[in-house]
Amino acid sequence: MAEGITAMSSPLVAVRSPRRHEAAGGAMKNTAVRNEVIVGIDPREQSVPALAWAVDEAVRRRLSLRLVMAVPPLPGGQHIDAPWRRTMLRAQGEDALSEAVATVRALHAEVPLTTELLDGMPSAVLCQKAAQAQMIVVGSRRLTRPEELFSAGSVAVPVSAQADCPVVVVREPEHAGERHPHLVVGVDGSESSRAAVEFAVEEAALHGAALRAVWVWRRPVVSFGDEAAGLEERRRILSETVAGWADKYPDVQITHEVLRGHPVEQLALASVSALVVVVGRQGRGGYSGMRLGSVVHGLLHRAECPVITVPESRHG
């Protein structure tokens, strides 16, 4: 566990007793074993859509579910009332976990469930937990970009930028629309987009959905080459990227196309009727998420469906 993050015993641990959980911990601490879906719990605003997504994913993948609540450090150093404030924050965390457990049990009574109340910045705690997760699921409070930079509660962007596993950001749709049983994956020829395609095909198979692979080509302001040839080259690379997956997953209908326009705008438009949009992430960004990539960052603000960010390291 990272320095400064202290695990605390929680009376909300479900399914497994502390002793039994410790016995199984040897395998779970191995970063090669990823047998959980982890959900970040926000005491200020519980995201029922995020919990519902996580429960559904855990059931489909036959994984256990872990609800993680992190209590950030008190700002401004130590004050005379610091112990009282810390006690209040932890009490709020326990209440948030209890509420989340009740929601999960209402959604699915039998899913294996564990809770943790930890000390530390929420984004740092979740990134540290990524080693044992097949995916991390968080809700979105629709923070502005300045709030992302300066808020201790900023989670979606920094976790998407840093976690060593796929991160699902689930937000309440602003406009209710008809969802068709298909996923959208963004492709740009990079290794990170290959990892995104790999994950998206698996996810489509689990959901019994089709997959739409999209390369959005932004027209250059000044073109020095043959645009028709550039378009054809992107179609070729896109076709090669998705080639072979139809044989491995014959039940998944896979289509692919190259669109013209701004990637964020086109992918956001595609998200209106999609179950989820999957995108790749190259490397690890800083806490602010500024290295997350302008397309992924923009999509987290604009998409009308859950967005899954897949790290490049997952490929292969």
pLDDT digits (tens, 9 = 90+) for 245-268: 989 999 999 999 999 999 999 999
Residue 254 tokens, joined: 């896979």
Q: Which fold does the domain 182-314 belong to in CATH?
A: Rossmann fold (3.40.50)
Q: What is the mean pLDDT of residues 198-215?
A: 96
Burial class, 61, CB count within 10 angstroms (exposed 0-12 / middle 13-18 / buried 19+): middle
Q: Which residues contact 260 (CB under 8 A, 6 or more apart)?
A: 216, 217, 218, 219
pLDDT digits (tens, 9 = 90+) for 136-165: 999 986 655 544 444 445 799 999 999 999
Q: Using 50, 70 and 90 to split pLDDT, how confident is the model at 30? A: very low
Within 67-129, residue ranges assigned H as helices are 82-107, 122-129
**Residue indicated by tokens 């256990």:** 64
Instruction: Estimate to the nearest angstrom the gap between the alpha carbon of 258 and the chain centroid.
Output: 25
Q: Which of 133, 291, 259, 234 is nearest to 184 (CA)?
A: 259
pLDDT of residue 83: 77
Question: Which residues is 249 bridged to in the sheet?
Answer: none
Q: Using 50, 70 and 90 to split pLDDT, how confident is the model at 8? A: very low
Most confident option among 83-87, 189-193, 220-224: 189-193
In the CATH scheme, what is the code of domain 7-19+28-170?
3.40.50.620
pLDDT of residue 59: 97
Percent over 70 (pLDDT), the chain = 75
pLDDT digits (tens, 9 = 90+) for 212-249: 999 998 876 556 667 788 889 999 999 999 998 989 99
Q: What is the mean pLDDT of residues 186-192?
A: 92
What's the CA gap between 51 and 57, in Å, rounded? 10
Residue 18 clears pLDDT 70, i.e. is over it: no
CATH code 3.40.50.620 region(s) in the chain: 7-19+28-170, 182-314
pLDDT of residue 293: 74
Sheet holding 210-217, edge to edge: 7-8, 113-119, 64-71, 36-40, 133-139, 167-170, 307-311, 276-281, 182-186, 210-217, 254-260
Handedness of CA 140, 141, 142, 147 (dihedral sign): negative
Residue 32 clears pLDDT 70, i.e. is over it: no
> What values do phi and psi take at 116, rounded to 5?
-140, 135
What's the CA gap between 316 and 296, in Å, rounded? 22
Q: What is the mean pLDDT of residues 196-225?
A: 88
* Distance between start and end Cα atoms, the chain: 27
Average pLDDT, the chain: 81
Residue 289 clears pLDDT 90, i.e. is over it: no
Residue 22 vs residue 121, higher pLDDT: 121
pLDDT of residue 174: 56
Q: Are 138 and 90 within 8 A, CB to CB?
A: no
pLDDT digits (tens, 9 = 90+) for 291-304: 467 888 889 988 99
Percent over 90 (pLDDT), the chain = 57
Q: Using 50, 70 and 90 to split pLDDT, how confident is the model at 176? A: low
